[in-house]
Chain A
Amino acid sequence: MPAKDVFGRAFPVILLTAVVAICVSLLTYVGSITLPRIEALEVQKIQGMLSGMFPDMSRYTFEDEIYAIYSDEVRIGYAFVAVGKGYGGAINILVGLEDEATIKRITVISHTETPGLGSRITEDLFTGQFVRLSVDDAALRRDGGQIDAITGATISSRAVADAVRITAVEKVKVLEDSEEGG
């Protein structure tokens, strides 16, 4: 086959590959500029939420997916992100613990629940119930716990309560294990 013919047949593929290569390089470049900044914004956001939850916080550490909160040199609590599965998808919740058995507070970071119904999980009326709540009681009343669900939004409410409780138990175990080991 004449070389020109081969080139003609291969050209579409060559062009496509070249285009993909250029695009991927462009993206990697843009990514290198934006991704660190996105990450920084995330950290800022978490920091803001943590200090909102623990007003006396002076610093925090992040290990094993758990934030340990310190006021000067005294550890005043822990925090972690729990993910509940609600109607519309993931509900991200920041849970603050006073100690291994008591919740300090919770804050809903993000969700895509139904506006006007499930979205009310962000309201104080609902999240306030978790303040100083014992971890074992973080469940809906009808499930044996102490939380009143939002009327008409049982699924969203349950998703939050269960996520808080189950993740808290999980994280406490991690803490206890690391304390024993270390």
Chain B
Amino acid sequence: MNELIVIFLSMALINNFILVRYLGLCPFLGVSKELGPAVSMGIAVTFVMIIASLATWLINHYILIPFDIQYMYIIVFILVIASLVQVIELFIKKTNIALYSAFGIYLPLITTNCAVLGVTIINMMGSYTLLESLVAALGGGLGFTLVLAIMAGIREKLELADTPRAMKGAPIALITATLLGLAFFGFVGIV
């Protein structure tokens, strides 16, 4: 149990995907302008991360390792993720139109999100058990969502502030990320 807590906190805060590992930056700059879409994207990413971790763990342990083709993991993992995203998108479209309009549109972007492929690789390289992988994905995704939400909240206010013209948009967002990253440093000693 203790180990799981360490993994969760490590993935969510101490080694936060966006601020420390630099994973998931594309949506970070693109979707963090408003709170609503930011949280939707975050939840969608978390969901995909968990399912992808499950699928890739099973494939890694029952196919790649036994057949000694672990070096092919890159192709296998990314195809799994791409297919998963397609399936999830179709499923949501067919079953819950409301949900689809909420965050179904972000799903195609998630395929190329470094955070999703990233967590599956982290799980593999850390030799995490299935439970540990799922906890890692949950932690990573929630940490990702948290940072996205905070950024969105800040950027909404930034829109109204008097930013120098050259810094408007991406530059000031990145400076904000610097400060957020520094703040998150405080988590380093929490466990």
Q: CB atoms of A and B under 8 A apart anywhere in the complex?
A: yes
The interface of chain A, by Cβ under 8 A from chain B, is: 23-24, 27, 31, 35, 83, 85, 87-90, 114, 117, 152, 154-155
Q: Is the CB of B6 within 8 A of A89?
A: no
Task: Report chain A residues within 8 Å CB of B7.
Answer: 85
Task: Report chain B residues within 8 Å CB of A155.
Answer: 6, 191
Q: Is the CB of B188 within 8 A of A89?
A: no
Q: List 13 A-B contacts (CB under 8 A).
A: A23-B75, A24-B72, A85-B3, A85-B6, A87-B14, A88-B10, A88-B15, A89-B126, A90-B125, A114-B15, A117-B188, A152-B189, A154-B191
Q: Is the interface of A mostly helix, strand, loop or mixed?
A: mixed
Residue of A nearest to B189 (CB): A152
Pick from A31, A90, A154: contact of B126, CB below 8 A. Answer: A90
Residue of A nearest to B132 (CB): A85
Q: Is the CB of A35 within 8 A of B71?
A: yes
Size of the chain B interface, CB-CB below 8 angstroms: 16
Quick check: is B83 within 8 A (CB to CB) of the other chain?
no
Quick check: is B96 within 8 A (CB to CB) of the other chain?
no
Q: Is the CB of B188 within 8 A of A152?
A: yes
Q: Contacts A27-B72, A27-B75, A89-B126 known; list 14 others, CB within 8 Å.
A: A23-B75, A24-B72, A27-B71, A35-B71, A85-B126, A87-B14, A87-B191, A90-B127, A114-B14, A114-B15, A117-B188, A117-B189, A152-B188, A154-B191
Q: State how many angstroms separate the Cβ of A113 from the closest Cβ of chain B.
A: 10
Bound: A44/B15 CA distance, A: 32
Q: State how many angstroms separate the Cβ of A54 from the closest Cβ of chain B.
A: 27
Q: Is the CB of B125 within 8 A of A87?
A: no
Q: State how many angstroms separate the Cβ of B45 from the closest Cβ of chain A.
A: 20
A87-B72 CB under 8 A given contacts A152-B188, A155-B6:
no
Task: Report chain B residues within 8 Å CB of A89.
Answer: 122, 125-126
Q: Is the CB of A87 within 8 A of B127?
A: no
Q: State how many angstroms separate the Cβ of A151 from the closest Cβ of chain B.
A: 9
Task: Report chain B residues within 8 Å CB of A114.
Answer: 14-15, 188
Bound: A85/B10 CA distance, A: 11
Contact with A along B107-130 (1 / 0, CB 8 A): 000000000000000100111000
Residue of A nearest to B127 (CB): A90
